[in-house]
Amino acid sequence: MTAPAADEAHTEKRKMTVTERSIPALTTALQQWLTAHPDAPGTPTVSGVRGPDSNGLSSTSVLFEVSWSGAPGVRSGSYVARMAPEDGAVPVFPRYDLPTQYELISRVGAGCSIPLPRLRWNVPDGGPLGAPFFVMDRVDGRIPLDNPPYVFTGWLLDATPAERARLQRASVQILATLHAMPAEAAVVPALRPPPGRGSLRHHVDQQRAYYRWALADDGVRVPIIERSFAWLEEHWPSSPGPDVLCWGDARIGNVIYASFTPVAVLDWEMAAVAPRELDVGWFIFLHRFFQDIAEFFGVPGLPDFLRRSDVERCYTELTGWQLRDMDFYLTYAALRHAIIMARIRRRMIHFGEDEVPADVDDYVMHRASLEQLLAGTYRWD
């Protein structure tokens, strides 16, 4: 793992530019849009436009309030608009299909019991904001911090072991419930792999293309990422499990909790059709990514939380499914996260928030963990 800058405390939020849209311009655009909207429940007054306090490094989330006048029974509402970042903001992903996300959330909400924010409006043509967006109700609650990570500070670190255990089981239940949905009923056409192409092979092919777009097309070749792709081919599962709808970005940082119970599942931009191990591997690895940072700084973190053995055991208890080839999927999760983090670092360099690393493998913050995974020496529990 690459050490952060010496003057950067691990408990402080690090500046990361996601969008260059101005708050006044967004306020005006939202006001004009809602005023003209035929389904608006009254005359709107938009206020409190802002970005979220933490989390979210790809799509742009905009929080705002609306007071409605002239509408009986409707006084005010709190909302979140999700939109694609502008091209000049060096987006994390090459494509932001907000209409597909809206449709997928609608199908998941109709097909299973996981908690989701209520969808309000879908604007696939971009309208006044200049990019496709959709609006949903804001859900009150708490989200485990990404920046700084929840292993260093915050309500989850301060919770009791029993409270964290309750949150852990309830979070694994999200995956179990989602994966129990009939895939054909939930999956939108854009997520289906090409005919005759296995879902896992299609997913890995997409990640190769993503790596080229994110880095290699700019002449940045990261050897550890390319070695990881080669490792996948050498350790390819002999019999991948059946396809399910995968959340994609399955992690507790994408869940709103109230009293350690999930009340809203967020961020579906990485959703895919794939074996369920794709989600479980990502879920486990994303916590270990933060826990490894804590150990790098010599602090305890949360070593007994979201342990690999506990998560795998809980998932099997909830579903009856014996997970397969988890070493493969955990290494794949580390590889996928390596590409994303390298792209985020490229964006930070663009905005003057970071420097080009002397060693190109240091684009991958967790390179030490990834190297151990490739060597088979990484210790999970």
Q: Per-residue pLDDT for 336 more than 60?
A: yes
Q: What is the pLDDT of residue 127?
A: 76
- Candidate list 125, 205, 243, 249, residue with the active-site label: 249
pLDDT band at residue 369, thresholds of 50, 70 and 90? very high
Q: Per-residue pLDDT for 150 more than 90?
A: yes
Structure-block tokens of residue 307: 């342990």
User: Domains of the chain: which residue ranges?
Assistant: 23-137, 155-375
Task: Provide the CA 158 distance to its chain's centre, in angstroms.
Answer: 24
The one-letter amino acid code at 121 reads W
Give the model confidence (pLDDT) of 285-318 as tens digits.
999 999 999 999 999 999 999 999 999 999 999 9
Give the model confidence (pLDDT) of 215-235 as tens digits.
988 889 999 999 999 999 999
The yes-or-no answer on residue 362 being catalytic is no
Q: What percent of the chain has pLDDT over 90?
A: 73
Q: Residue 108 and residue 178: Cα distance in Å, rounded?
A: 8
Least confident of 79-88, 159-168, 268-277, 306-315: 79-88
The one-letter amino acid code at 11 reads T
CA atoms within 13 A of residue 302's CA, in its CB half-sphere: 28
Q: Per-residue pLDDT for 187 more than 80?
A: no
Q: What is the pLDDT of residue 1?
A: 37
Mean pLDDT of 351-370: 95
CATH superfamily of 23-137: Phosphorylase Kinase; domain 1 (3.30.200.20)
Residue pair 63/51 in contact by the 8 Å Cβ criterion: yes
CB neighbours (10 Å) of residue 24?
A: 9
Q: What is the pLDDT of residue 381?
A: 77
Q: Per-residue pLDDT for 13 more than 90?
A: no
Q: Per-residue pLDDT for 190 more than 60?
A: yes
pLDDT band at residue 52, thresholds of 50, 70 and 90? confident
Mean pLDDT of 14-29: 71
Q: Residue 194 and residue 320: Cα distance in Å, rounded?
A: 29
Quick one: fold of 155-375?
Aminoglycoside 3'-phosphotransferase; Chain: A, domain 2 (3.90.1200)
Q: Per-residue pLDDT for 15 more than 80?
A: no
Q: What is the pLDDT of residue 126?
A: 75
Q: Per-residue pLDDT for 2 more than 70?
A: no
pLDDT band at residue 214, thresholds of 50, 70 and 90? very high
Mean pLDDT of 147-154: 94
Q: What is the pLDDT of residue 183?
A: 72
Q: Residue 165 and residue 172: Cα distance in Å, rounded?
A: 11
What pTM was computed for the model? 0.91
The one-letter amino acid code at 285 reads F
List strands edge to edge, sheet with 76-83.
43-50, 60-69, 76-83, 133-137, 119-123
Q: Per-residue pLDDT for 327 more than 70?
A: yes
Mean pLDDT of 6-32: 67
Mean pLDDT of 152-170: 98
Structure-block tokens of residue 373: 């995974």
Q: What is the pLDDT of residue 54?
A: 59
Structure-block tokens of residue 342: 């390298």
pLDDT band at residue 132, thresholds of 50, 70 and 90? confident
Q: What is the pLDDT of residue 91?
A: 86
Give the model confidence (pLDDT) of 88-120 as tens digits.
778 899 988 999 999 999 999 999 999 999 999
Q: What percent of the chain has pLDDT over 70?
A: 92
Specify the length of the chain in residues: 381
> What average pLDDT does the structure give for the chain?
90
Mean pLDDT of 308-330: 98
Residue pair 121/41 in contact by the 8 Å Cβ criterion: no
Residue pair 157/150 in contact by the 8 Å Cβ criterion: yes
Q: What is the pLDDT of residue 84?
A: 82
Fold match, 23-137 / 155-375? no
Q: Residue 49 and residue 52: Cα distance in Å, rounded?
A: 10
Which residue in 139, 100, 134 sits closest to 117, CA to CA? 139
Q: What is the pLDDT of residue 8?
A: 47
